Structures are given as structure tokens and as C-alpha cells.
Chain A
Amino acid sequence: MAARDGLVLALPKGRILTEIGPVMRRAGIEPETAFADPEARQLRFTTSDEALSIIRVRSFDVATFVAFGAAQLGIAGSDVLMEFDYRELYAPLDLKVGLCRLVAAEPADLASDDDPSRWSHVRVATKYPRLTRRHFAARGVQAECVKLHGAVELAPSLGLCRRIVDLVSSGATLQANQLVEVEHIADISARLVVNRAALKTRAEEVGGWIERFRKAIDGAPAA
């Protein structure tokens, strides 16, 4: 019963995970050693705080686990939050890590004489179909999305479709695939998310963690 009564923090695998290590340490969370081992088959980890355990899931699943209350806290990129727009999630803190941009890109030779403001319909390969449709609809463009789970940059060169919407940090991947950014959609950073019902029914505990993370990103060690 103790495990059920504790709080669960959902963390995303990949890009963000390495960057949030320092923030977590400043918030006073030391995961068990297996957590640092990428080969570990374990999915759930204990921490130095016995009332908090960690689960490691795919970045898109963080939002889902927290929205459904399976985890009370989570860290997710704002790209994921924008894609799902779950009502049951609050995103009270910008952790200011995992910084990147969400952009529309196309092959350099196409971009040379393409004017995005004249688009009426685009076909786009992306991990973010809902967000993409919403973004383009807001400026009067109908977006037809091909949903991919990764390697989005391959799509134009292999003729899947000419344009993509994806995350860019350094721009190296775009360049390597002869793609150029044609439209900036949003600036992305990692957010602390909390489940709505958990924040209401366990206001002190969950609020306490939000406060610890707030202090951690302000740089001061948590009290």
C-alpha cells in the first residue's frame, strides 16, 4: 500500500532525460543507481525520497500517464503538451532545459522559390499531427499530416512528402538532410506537469514538489 500512497514522477526517455539530471539533484531527488544505466530493463525506480518513485516512459506517454493520474508529476516537453492539450494537466513550471524549436522545413531546392504565405494546402510528415493541423489552420492553411514516430527528416528525400514539421535544436540534422527551416512554429522547453486531481486532493505534497522544483530552477539548492 505504501507504494500506491507515494507519488510517482514520470520522466521522458531520450533528449530531455540527460538535461534534467542537475535540476532533479537540486530539487533533492537522487534516483537509485539502476536509473542511470540505460541497459536496465527496470521501468520503475525508487529515489532518495521514499515517498517518490520515478517511471521512465516515452516522451509522449509522460503526458498520458500524468493526465490519467497514473503518475502525479511528470516532466514533458511543451511540444508534447501542445500536441495533446490534455485538460487534466497543469504545467506550472518552465524548467528551462531541453530547449529547442518546432519548425516547418522543406528541401533547400524547393525553398528557394517557395513562399509559405501563399500556401493553401500542405502535406507534412510529422510526429505532431494535431499541433501541425492547428497551427496551419490558424493561418488559413489546410495541413494534411502523415504521422511518423521518428526519422521525420528522411521523409522529403525519399518522396514520402516534401515538407516536415519537427523539433530542431542545432539544425545539424536538417542540414545533413538538405532541409531548410521555412517557418518557426514554437519555442519548446521542458515543463513540470502535474495531474489536476492530484494537485487538488494532495495539495500539500504536490504543491511542495512544485515549490522544490521552482527553487531548483532558480538555482538555489532546495531547502
Chain B
Amino acid sequence: MDDLAKKALLPAGLQDLLPPDAAVEAAVAERLLACFARFGYERVKPPLVEFEEGLLDGTGAGLANQTFRLMDPVSQRMMAVRSDMTPQVARIAATRLSHSPRPLRLSYAGDILRVRGSELRPERQFGQVGIEMIGASAPAGDAEVILLAVEALKSLDVSGLAVDLNSPTLVTAELDALALEDAARARLRQALDRKEAAEVAALGGPAADLLGGLVAATGPAKSALGALAGLDLPTAAQGAAETLAAVARIVHEAAPDIILTVDPVEQRGFEYQTGVSFTVFARGVRGELGRGGGYPVGFEARRAGPAEAAVGCTLYLDSLLRALPRGERGRRIFLPAGTAWAAGDSLRADGWITVAGLAPVDDAVAEAGRLGCSHLWAGGRVQPTDGQV
């Protein structure tokens, strides 16, 4: 490996975004935030790094093994680089904004860093844009967040949107009632995660029928909710199922054009969530565009009263960029060296991107082409570089 190649090589999962992708990513984040702002969500900006015990408390606990840590030489305490922004916003809501009126609607955008990428997303650093509603009440709060995520993605012209609604507590309640040993529970959980109907039937014991019914109640919202309503759920799970149905109803009414599916057994990545969770997909796009759901806010150890209910949604910028058409570079015009500043001003006001020559050249047309300009400024007017008018 020569010296230049060594300098160019980045650690696994990290990359440079180049033109036009970097600009597209920034513009996408801006448009999403603008959409959230129109619905009353105000932006917060937490820091990149926090003390470990704060960042990995409560909803953040599930990300402990995905989090980079470093020692703070000043305070001699362990710090952690954020691997998800939701716990940070939850912390802000529980501390500095604990006296702000509820429901508290906040939005955020920023990059996060993870120890390992996944199969579908090898990136270890990627951008998140999201919203959190703290002091939310079901089902209206859940539905608002889902609809707003859909609205924001529609504003970017993402087509074929699909929202999968989940209720992680449904299965947890079932598994708790079974009182299985850890290993047996893990096997059953894995079978549920993979929707292996035969294994669920074999491992489910007295709950096999019910769990099998939950696996079967997966699919388009209408039929799945019908199947779910037909199940003889224990009292603890009935409330969760009703909330799920209510959220589905509101979302379908407001956005009948999106594909709405229900999956009562999906739980991966939702382990710390309560209430309704959801994942956003787009047809033809690999992996998830975003996910969200309900969770409790408040510091586990120091929590004074009952936890506040919150619901949020995070959209992943890297997946979104894959879902969008490649960015355009805009109309570029070459201003040969010596062009008056004022001439450029009026062109820029007309929407041109001006690229100025620094020194006189013999062939201005060729120079314009070399610099990626479709037009040049010559003889006091705009001229195309291909000679046609």
C-alpha cells in the first residue's frame, strides 16, 4: 500500500460524502426539520459526547454494546459518544425542560456513531433526523408521530411508503406469563422473531395457540387486526391490542394511500419500548427508512414520580438517500476572469450557480465545460457552451 492509499483508507464503516451527495443529505435533513417545525416541533441540539451513565440510562441501556467510550481527562469520568439521539432528547425533556408544558414536541438532527454496523447498514456513522413527543397520550400521540413521519417523507417525494405497526408489549406479556427459563425463552423469542410457526407451536407450551395466533395475525392492517381481535388475549394484553387497533384506524383514515401492515410479534430493536412501535419502509428500498414508538422518560434511579410516556420517530438519512433520486447539480455558469462582480450578482439572483475563472484563458468555452458549466458569460449575455441557443 503506498502512502497516498494509506491516507485515503478510512476505518471500516466510515466514509466521505462527496458532491452532490453531501449537499443532498443536508438538504434532505433541512426539509424534514422544516416539515416537523410546521407541526410545532422545536429543534434541540444535544452534544456529541456525554457522560456514560447519563447516556446509557433508561431507553439508552439497550445500546451499551454499540457505544464508543472515552475517558474525559478533565473530569476523569467515562464519556460515551452517542449511538442514538433519542436518549439524549429524553434526558433534555426530563431535566432542563421538565417544567415546559406537555405535550413537549421536540425535533433533532445529527450524526451518531456505533461500534458495529449491521449486515444491511455497514455504516458505523450515519445521520438521524427525528421527533419526540414527551407527555404523549395514546392513541392520538402515536398516530400524530407516525403521520408526521409519513408526511415528512412524502414531502421528499419518497414513493411506495409502508408503515408496519407493532406492539412489543403484547408478546412480552405472553412470555412473562409463561415463566420460562432464560434459555427456553430466548429460543422461543428467536422463533417468534423469525416467524417460525412450527417452532413457536413446539416451544410455546400452554401459550402455543395464542402465540401462533399472534404470528398468524401479521400482514395488511385490516385482516391482521381482524385476526388479532379474534384471539382470546389475556387482560394485560387486551389494552395493548386495542391501542394498536386505534392507532391503525387513525393512521389509515388520515393517510389511506400508504401501505399499512400490522405485526404483533416484531420486537427486535423495540425491547425497551412500550405501547405501539412502528417501522417505516419504502417499496424497493433495502432495509428500514426509520422507526419509532413509545417509551418511558425519566432517569431510572432518580425518578421521583411515575415515568412520563413519550413517543418518537427516527429517520435514517443514509437509507433515505438510497430511496431518493440522485441529486442534481443545478444550473452552472462560467464567469471568465475579469467579469464584473455585479454581473454575477444578477445571475445568482436569477438562480444561476456562478463559477468564476481566476485567470484569463484562451478557450472560455472549453474551460466552462471542464468546470462542469453548461453555460458561460460572454459578450454581456448568457451563452450555452454547446454553441446552440
Contacts and interface: CB of A to CB of B under 8 A. Distances in A.
A81 to B, nearest CB: 7
Interface string B154-181: 0000001010100000000000000000
Contacts of A88: 119-120, 287
Given A93-B198, A94-B196, 11 more contacts: A69-B286, A87-B118, A90-B194, A92-B197, A92-B215, A197-B285, A200-B281, A201-B283, A201-B284, A203-B219, A204-B220
Contacts of B326: none
A207 B194 contact: no
Nearest to B260: A203
A91 B286 contact: no
B332 interface: no
Interface of B: 118-120, 160, 162, 164, 183, 193-198, 215, 219-220, 259, 261, 263, 268, 279, 281-288
B168 to A, nearest CB: 15
Contacts of A138: 183
Interface residues of A, number: 24
B266 to A, nearest CB: 9
Contacts, number: 64
A87 B195 CA distance: 11
A201 B286 contact: no
Contact of A200 (B120, B164, B197): B164
Judged by DSSP, the binding face of A is: mixed
Contact of B287 (A4, A197, A202, A204): A197
A94 B287 contact: no
A204 B259 CA distance: 10
Given A68-B120, A88-B120, A207-B220, A201 B259 contact: yes
A197 B198 CA distance: 22
A207 B219 contact: yes
A174 interface: no
Interface of A: 4, 67-69, 81, 86-94, 138, 191, 197, 199-204, 207
Contacts of A81: 194
Most buried by B among A4, A138, A200, A201: A200
Contact of B286 (A87, A90, A197, A200): A197
Contacts of B183: 138
The 8 residue pairs across chains A and B that have the minimum distance between CB atoms: A201-B162, A201-B283, A94-B198, A90-B195, A92-B195, A69-B286, A200-B164, A91-B194
Contact of A201 (B160, B194, B197): B160
Contacts of A67: 119-120
A217 B193 CA distance: 22
A93 B118 CA distance: 25
A200 B283 CA distance: 9
A113 B118 CA distance: 44
Contacts of B288: 197
A5 to B, nearest CB: 9
Nearest to A189: B198
A49 B105 CA distance: 50
Contacts of B164: 200
Nearest to A206: B219
B327 to A, nearest CB: 22
A173 to B, nearest CB: 27
A91 B195 contact: yes
Contact of B259 (A90, A91, A191, A203): A203
Nearest to A68: B286
A201 B194 CA distance: 17
A87 B119 contact: yes
Contacts of A87: 118-120, 193, 268
Contact of A86 (B119, B160, B196, B281): B119
Nearest to A191: B196
A68 B121 CA distance: 10
A93 B197 contact: yes
A4 B283 CA distance: 12
Nearest to A89: B194
Nearest to A202: B283
Nearest to B224: A203
Contacts of B259: 200-201, 203
A200 B284 CA distance: 11
B31 to A, nearest CB: 23
Nearest to B280: A200
